[in-house]
Chains A and B, each alone.
Chain A
Amino acid sequence: MSLPNYTSLNYRIWHYTYLTICGLVFFFLIAPLFVILPLSFNAEQYIHFSEKMIALDPEGFSLRWYKDMIYGTKNPWGLAAKNSIIIAFFATIGATVLGTVAALGLSSRHMPYKAAFMALLILPLIVPLIISGVAIFFFMAKVGLAATHTGIIIAHIILGTPFVVITVTATLTGFDHSVTRAAASLGSNPVNTFMKITLPLILPGVISGALFAFVTSFDEVVVVLFLAGLDNTTIPIQMWVGLREQLSPTILAVATCLIVMSILILVSAELLRRRSERLRGINR
């Protein structure tokens, strides 16, 4: 951002101060994440930048914590990862299907009490997680689903649907309804119209909603803390347990893996967003 040369000195000073402040804020946002990366390759047992690490001596670095994560004795991470993936997979499917269908209804011109329904459907997003956790725990205990995968999956569907509803209704605001009418006038039934016309057009919104639902489930710890038994431990639960006991380098190795995963998710979410913006641009 270069300034035109007629700007006053005061303005220049102000401008560069502003850029510096922004730089510091960006640093504050992103730097903490990247402290973990080098420390997870630490050869020593302490979570501390050793002198060898600072001197970039190869001996200061090792993969031992990654080995410990995968092959360590009484290692909880394998089971946790498996559970996390199973739960997140089914919760994503459930939340996406329910949320997309509801968003279609909500976006309809003919939907009565639209605002009230919308407020109700995104309630799980507004209610603090701890309260959702308490309430869902009582319910699951009552119906005998506490400490089961099914119970946790249902809980995560509840928490994931608001994201799907929000992203899909947002996509549908720019949706040209004459294309579905055209399909209907050409003899297509509603299901067929949805599968062949509507869904491909709103797919970016659906997928980004699904990504939100997946991350919500994969990252969720508060509700699972109430619901999970020993067999349903997930990655966030294991991290929580580990962090409560002691900050160990193995946790940092796991954290690094999760950061890599979130980079992948971020990239796909960004690509989807751009594609959706492009598609909506064409519709207009």
Chain B
Amino acid sequence: MALLELRQVSKSYPHAKGNLRVLNEISFSVERGEFVAIVGPSGCGKSTLLRIINGIIAPTAGQVLYNGQQVDGINPECAMVFQSFALLPWLSVKANVELGLEARGVPPAERERLATLYIDKVGLDGFEEAYPRELSGGMKQRVGLARALAVEPAVLLMDEPFSALDALTAIGLREELLDIWQAPDSPVETIIMVTHIIEEAVELADRILVLSAGPGRLAGDLRVDLARPRDRRSEPFNSLTDKVFSLIEERA
């Protein structure tokens, strides 16, 4: 049975002149242990889709099934990493990472242990008492990642996590993400990442879902069977990138 399944999920928003349809009958499923990337142009509703999977937004039509059960509301097995980091500026790094655990009623001693563990895992050991305004963009996103990992979710959801970072930092963080995910003691098995950078999707994911815009619909579902680490300059890499590109253009 698939871990996560979307059936005919649609989303519309009420608008001045009637309804604005953002997502149109999206259906796909995700297996355990997969790294799925969702790519598409801006405005195609991919961030909305991710939030529907998490449960922050409810779909107008269709169902989200987790382990075969319909999910209403927030899915506690998911944790999200945000494009803009979404850290509380008045809390220290440690307090920010503990936030998700505190929300789930984890007792303080255990919170402390998990937070310290994952702050260390993302490479921010020693920065526990720092405040977000003292950190660089890359460091802030690591805090966001630590916060998501600390609740040890089954599914990690990432909303354009590296788009707000400079290219060099992003390269480093991508590698670290793969390291964390592939480690034997990794808390997270499944990752769903939204991105508009096609190369990023081809470099990281096992599967690429292509969304087209206006309204968003599934334009393609590609497997990426290249062995990791993947060479950006290799021929298979480039032909995959072209294929994704053409899928987006075709439906544009």
Q: Are A and B part of the same complex?
A: no
